[in-house]
Amino acid sequence: MASLPLDAIVHLSDLHPKPEGKTFGYGTAGFRTTGNILGSVLFRVGLLASLRSKKFDGKTIGVMVTASHNPEGDNGVKLVDPRGEMLETSWETYATSLANAATTSKLVDELRHIVAVAKIDLSKPSRVLYARDTRPSGAALVQCLEDGLRAMGAQRRNEGVTTTPILHYLVRCVNTKGTRDEYGDDNEEGYYDKLSNAFKKLMAKPPPPLIMDCANGVGAIAAQKLNEHIGSILQLKLYNIATTTSGVLNNGCGADYVKTTQRLPPSLHGVLKPGERGCSLDGDADRLMYFYLDEENNFGMLDGDKIAALVSSFIVDLVKNAGLDKQIEVGVVQTAYANGSSTRYLEKRVPVRCVPTGVKHLHHAAEHFSIGVYFEANGHGTVLFSPSTLDLLRTHEPSTPAQETAIKQLLALSELINQTVGDALSDMLLVEVVLAHRAFTAVEWDSLYTDLPNRLVKVVVPSRQKFITTDAERRLVEPKEVQARIDALVRKYDGGRAFVRPSGTEDVVRIYAEATLRPQVDELASRLSGVVYDFEGDQSKRPKEYL
């Protein structure tokens, strides 16, 4: 029986001590906090990724070092399972217990526990593929990760600086190589080829150029490369591409800025002209937000809900045109953040499910449909084709040329859309395909339904862990008095809907409010901020905008 390489683990672990008094949690998308205190976590994630690979008989596990939409000073890390999906939830507990072991000897105890409980055969090989985004703390954190991998004797494959969705893509490619589920060539070039070949099959003529805000993140590098592959059809005009300038990542730009402020990034003022459309990526290019200026220079935002509406209705029509609507069920998955109008629009057309925040929850719910469309309102999402749906599309004999065309288009979409995780670049190509096929302008797309006025705000509290939710995060179980006050407030506003939940990526509580009229929603959000702050915050520092 092989055993844990304790000498190496102990020696290297002592080089990466856990910061005293800090508790780490595997949140919505892995560990996330200030970049300079994450060294021990990265080392331990290296150990865990190796064990996870052994559990899968040496299949490659992915590790992405990123804090995505968070400020530049933050960083984070998440594990990716062999099919390119987020780490199975049951292993998040192992990740958290390893990250919080106070000493090297407690760390060894935790490792032994995991090996026993998860029944890991230590004689199996381990293989780990990893990458990072452009954050300044990334390179040092990768070295900590590598120490963890070295300690366990894992085979390492460093993909350098790349986007989160490309890392997910690569993991799936490596693990499916030479099988009937082969996903693509396991290198970046393979990714761009796969997307651009599918895009070229689906686009008849070039649309006007697209303005893209790259959030000064790694998406700028990837979008430049994508441009080289698709430039003859769709020209991307890239902005906010300063990946080496200090302090600019996600700062006043990017998908999160657009969604939370419902404004055009200041850097695009005068760049985006009336009648034009643009889009924003986030710091690791897994979220996408579209926007436009109408002829009167009014800003319009097209978020994840609008993308879900556009894409799902297009796919429903293609399935009908293919004559397969009896066999293929298209469904949509959303979260509580979905605008009430989008849910009403979708429910008239397709089955809709609501799940807690986090791609990991949406992804699994979407797998229950033949074609599952999932998007969070923040622009994070994708479309999953089930294996049996792909088999059906590949083998079905069409009765008419129109059916044959629809089937070919569905198959091309399955190649265009990243099947592993939300991917801003792949989603952008998907949106462009649908706009071209529908001959829609951004204004026409926006008119599918009218958003209810809404506000998304965050409140900094000393301990967000005190906020516990139920019902897909739409209600608080604790603190009960806060939920009672939310209920009482919401009743006072026409069309009012609101909820409060702790963020799993930032040290804040998030508040979402919706109402029929804009001034009312602003007031409701402000009152709710006050309710949350009153429960926990320091009254001497209470912001005056909290009513």
Numbered residues of the known binding site: 68, 282, 284, 286, 376-378, 501-505, 510
Pairs from 16-25 (Cβ < 8 Å, separation ≥ 24): 16/40, 16/42, 16/43, 16/44, 16/144, 16/147, 17/104, 18/99, 18/100, 18/101, 18/102, 18/103, 23/100, 24/96, 24/99, 24/100, 25/96, 25/504
Q: Binding segment for ligand G16 among 111-119, 142-150, 357-365, 539-547 (CB under 6 A)?
A: 357-365
Contact between 510 and ligand G16 per CB under 6 A: yes
Task: Give the per-residue contact string, 30-69, with ligand G16 (x = CB under 6 A; - = no).
Answer: --------------------------------------xx
Contact between 380 and ligand G16 per CB under 6 A: yes
Residues 12-31 that bind ligand G16 (CB under 6 A): 28-29
Q: Closer CB to ligand G16, residue 315 or residue 333?
A: 333
Q: Residue 226: CA atoms inside 13 Å, Cβ hemisphere, count?
A: 32
Residue from the set 286, 303, 423, 446 that interacts with ligand G16 by CB under 6 A:
286
Known binding positions for substrate? 376-378, 501-505, 510
* Residues 6 or more apart whose Cβ sits within 8 Å of residue 233: 199, 200, 203, 206
What does the chain come to in residues? 547
Q: Binding segment for ligand G16 among 13-21, 56-64, 376-384, 512-520 (CB under 6 A)?
A: 376-384
Contact between 213 and ligand G16 per CB under 6 A: no
Determine contact, residues 472/240, Cβ cutoff 8 Å.
no
Contact between 339 and ligand G16 per CB under 6 A: no
Q: Binding segment for ligand G16 among 209-217, 282-290, 483-491, 526-534 (CB under 6 A)?
A: 282-290
Residues 470-509 that bind ligand G16 (CB under 6 A): 503-506
* Residues 6 or more apart whose Cβ sits within 8 Å of residue 25: 31, 96, 504
* Residues 6 or more apart whose Cβ sits within 8 Å of residue 127: 53, 58, 59, 60, 61, 154, 155, 157, 174
Contact between 186 and ligand G16 per CB under 6 A: no
Q: Closer CB to ligand G16, residue 18 or residue 360?
A: 360
DSSP for 147-199, please give it: HHHHHHT-EEEEEEE--HHHHHHHHHHHHHTTSTT--S-SSHHHHHHHHHHHH
Residues 68-87 that bind ligand G16 (CB under 6 A): 68-69
Q: Closer CB to ligand G16, residue 110 or residue 376?
A: 376
- Nearest approach in angstroms of CB 217 to ligand G16 is 11
Per-residue tokens: 539: 């009254």
Q: Is 14 helix (H, G, I), strand (E, B) or coil?
A: helix
- Nearest approach in angstroms of CB 14 to ligand G16 is 32
The catalytic site residues sit at 68
Contact between 376 and ligand G16 per CB under 6 A: yes
Which residues contribute to the site for ligand G16 (CB under 6 A)?
Answer: 28-29, 68-69, 282, 286-287, 357-359, 376, 378, 380, 503-506, 510
